[in-house]
Each structure stands twice: as C-alpha cells, then as structure tokens.
Amino acid sequence: MKCTSLQGDRGETLISASALGMVRRDRPLFRNIEFTLSAGEAIQLTGPNGSGKSTLLRILAGLLTPTVGAVVRRVPLSYLGHRNGLTTANTVAAELADWGVADESVFRRFGLEALGPFPLRTLSQGQQRRVALVRVLASGARLWLLDEPAVGLDAENRNHLAEAMDRHRLDGGAIVAATHDDLGLQDARQLELGGRPRCG
C-alpha cells in the first residue's frame, strides 16, 4: 500500500482523483491516490501483479466505485482494458465501421488496411490489439485510459503506438497507462502501486 500524490501543473485539467482508496477481499489495495492530469500529460501506472493497476484504471473510467475518494472527469474518455472488447465474428472493416471509424489514415496507421475483409476471430493476438487501439485513436476522446496497451504488439507497432500517444498529447489529450514495460511515454509521471510503503 502506498500513499501517492501527483500534481499536474500545466494547462486544463482533464481528470482528477482525490483520496482514492480501494479495499479488495478485506485487504487495502491502495489508498490516498491523489492526482490531477492536464492536457498534454501522461501518467504511467506501474507495480507488481495484483497491485491494483487495472482496478485503478477501472475506477478512473467509472466502471468501478472506489471504497473511498472521488474522481472528477471533465472530458470524454476512451478505456482499453486487458480485453479488447471486439465482436470477433465481425470482419475488421465491419467492426471499425460499427464504431464509426471511417478515417482511412487511422486504419492505415496500424497497418490494418490489408486485414479489412477478415473476421476478427481469425486474427492474431497482436493484430486484434491493433484493431482495439484504432478504436481508441478514432474515438475523439481527449482522455485515454490504457491497460497494457502494447501487449502482443511487435516492435514496429509499439513504435506506432508511442507515436500515436505523442501526437494525442500534442493535440491536447492526456493518457493514463498501466504497464510492465517501457511504452515510450515521454516525460510521463510515474505512479507506482504496491511494494514498499512510501507515504509522504
């Protein structure tokens, strides 16, 4: 359990968390999570398996209620969990059309144009992750909440993801991403869950 405070200092606040705490199975998972996230910023959530990264992201997305504390969301958000949330019977083209993704450049950014006619269930794990990422990119949401977004991606597509995240932040977006790896998030603030208590 760790007491954490991260204060944003630039521009418009897109989301803030105050005094967030969560108990799971009678055990405090985390407490006193405080931060504001402003346009252009990113927070990288790290910590061992089971330390609460996915739980915190789901709380930020409004999918879970914290035991204590509050989240204020000021802009629309796009959440990508461990699961891609795809309708796997759909072709790639049909799935993206269902989401209103008409922008060919977004489609091409992750090299999906050749995969358009194929059912999602026939795609590899990394290919399916790329489709799910295109959904986030095309959502128009200024706040991206990403849980292990690079899982299954090869080096080239990891670079595409890093570029897309840079571009999003330059365009006034912000990102909270949980990861065990280096996502290439430049100047990201680090929020580490679990491990040795460190309360300031």
Ligand X SMILES: Nc1ncnc2c1ncn2[C@@H]1O[C@H](COP(=O)(O)OP(=O)(O)OP(=O)(O)O)[C@@H](O)[C@H]1O
Minimum CB distance to ligand X smaller for 74 or for 180: 180
Position 47 contacts ligand X (CB under 6 A): yes
Q: Site for ligand X (CB under 6 A): how many residues?
A: 11
Residues 25-44 that bind ligand X (CB under 6 A): 25, 29
| CA 161/CA 81 separation, integer angstroms | 16
Q: Which two tokens stand for residue 181?
A: 């790896």
Minimum CB distance to ligand X smaller for 110 or for 144: 144
Query: Whole-number minimum distance, CB 16 to ligand X, in Å?
Result: 20
Sign of CA dihedral 38, 15, 180, 120: negative
How many Cα neighbours within 13 Å face the side chain of 117? 1
Position 167: which residue type? R
Q: Which two tokens stand for residue 13?
A: 């606040």
Query: Whole-number minimum distance, CB 22 to ligand X, in Å?
Result: 8
Position 49 contacts ligand X (CB under 6 A): yes
Query: Whole-number minimum distance, CB 62 to ligand X, in Å?
Result: 16
The residues pairing with 144 across neighbouring beta strands, listed in sequence order, are 78, 175
Position 50 contacts ligand X (CB under 6 A): yes
Residues 109-168 that bind ligand X (CB under 6 A): none
| CA 101/CA 90 separation, integer angstroms | 14
Position 150: which residue type? A
Query: Whole-number minimum distance, CB 49 to ligand X, in Å?
Result: 3
Q: Which residues contact 136 (CB under 8 A, 6 or more apart)?
A: 78, 80, 144, 146, 149
| CA 200/CA 197 separation, integer angstroms | 10
Position 83 contacts ligand X (CB under 6 A): no
Position 51 contacts ligand X (CB under 6 A): yes
Query: Whole-number minimum distance, CB 119 to ligand X, in Å?
Result: 28
Contact window for ligand X (CB under 6 A) among 47-55, 126-134, 156-164, 166-174: 47-55
Binding site for ligand X (CB under 6 A): 24-25, 29, 47, 49-55
